[in-house]
Amino acid sequence: MGLMQGKSGVVVGVANQHSIAWAIAERLHKEGARVALTYANEGLRRRVEGLSKRIESPLVVPCDVTDDAQLASAMAAAAAALDGGLDFVVHAVAFAPERDLKAKVVGTSRQGFHTTMDISVYSFIGLVQAAAPYLRPNAGALTLSYLGAERVCVGYNIMGVAKAALEASCRYLAADLGPRGIRVNAISSGPIRTSAAIGLPNFQEMLAKRADQSPLGRNVDQGDVANSAAFLLSDLSRSTTGTVLHVDGGYNVMGTWTEASEAPAKAPEEKSVEEVA
């Protein structure tokens, strides 16, 4: 029997077969869960519907996370298709306008800030809000973050600010929903080759450096995140909430990355003015 046997829920954010969201959906299905999927727009509909057949998804429904009415209707439809309730919701959505992402935080426009925070942060709050009436006791909500929420990561810029707000939202939602037995957690993964990530200006360099500098000496992939997601959404983590779980090969614990080099030769001592005279 799988970790998620008898459980059902929704994964929001599948774009293609390389998506972290898709890897999570596949893993949950493998563990026995029934998984409904959403698509963001008509351009993604056929692709998501095609993927849904691989996991025998009972529902594929439109869900523009900037539209409260669509969030509400998507969660209601999912609950109806999944025997009236939800045991989990997965949020894998983030976006920043290209101009603002490249502009560095100091150059972020007001509209770009609003758009980034709405799609990357409020969408998680809105999703949990829309799902809340249908969430069963001990249900889990999960979102995806990145180390840029905690540290300055070159090229991540305004998205780092958004991820910091997302992690704070996770903690507050955990406190809000804890009395109902509902858990809210986040996974902060290392860089992974997805359609969204490869748009970052220094992504290839980031991959190479993280592999060299993490304790495990390698990068992580979609499957690593999916494995941790299955744990956080299963009963094995029934006492874990408000947590950001790092799945990054240990990179986040490092303060320096190379062995100390040989100490330089001692410089000649400077003579005093008196000695020179």
Question: Is 122 a catalytic site residue?
Answer: no
Query: Among all chains, which residue has been given the structure tokens 């983590």?
Result: 237
- Helix/strand/coil (H/E/C) assignment for every residue in the chain: CCCCCCCEEEEECCCCCCCHHHHHHHHHHHCCCEEEEEECCHHHHHHHHHHHHHHCCCCEEECCCCCHHHHHHHHHHHHHHCCCCEEEEEECCCCCCHHHHHCCHHHCCHHHHHHHHHHHHHHHHHHHHHHHHHEEEEEEEEEEEEHHHCCCCCCCCHHHHHHHHHHHHHHHHHHHHHHHCCEEEEEEECCCCCCCHHHCCCHHHHHHHHHHHCCCCCCCCHHHHHHHHHHHHCHHHCCCCCCEEEECCCHHHCCCCCCCCCCCCCCCCCCCHHHHC
Choice among 39, 122, 156, 251 that is catalytic: 156
| Residue carrying the six token digits 């954010």 | 13
Give the active site residue among 122, 134, 146, 251.
Answer: 146
**In the β-sheet with 8-12, what is the strand arrangement from edge to edge?**
60-62, 34-39, 8-12, 86-91, 135-146, 183-189, 244-247
**Catalytic annotation present for 156:** yes
Q: Catalytic residue numbers? A: 146, 156
